Amino acid sequence: MHISEPRKNARFNETQPEEYYDYTNYKIKPGDIDKYVITQRIGKGKYSRGF
């Protein structure tokens, strides 16, 4: 079985520091919530609505 690789940037993630791809330890920086506005509903699920 032949596994193909992309022509460009095939090894990009291997050259990045751990902070680049470590999503489990990422801390979201809270910002000013007054800058955001809910404009429309985009969908709904079984137990929730998506905005």
The pLDDT tens digits for 1-51 are 888 878 888 888 889 998 888 888 888 888 888 888 888 877 777 777 765
According to the model, what pLDDT value does residue 11 have?
84
Half-sphere CA count of 24, side-chain side, radius 13 A: 0
According to the model, what pLDDT value does residue 48 have?
74
d(CA 14, CA 20): 10
According to the model, what pLDDT value does residue 51 have?
56
According to the model, what pLDDT value does residue 17 have?
92
d(CA 43, CA 45): 7
Burial class (CB in 10 A: 0-12, 13-18, 19+), 25: exposed
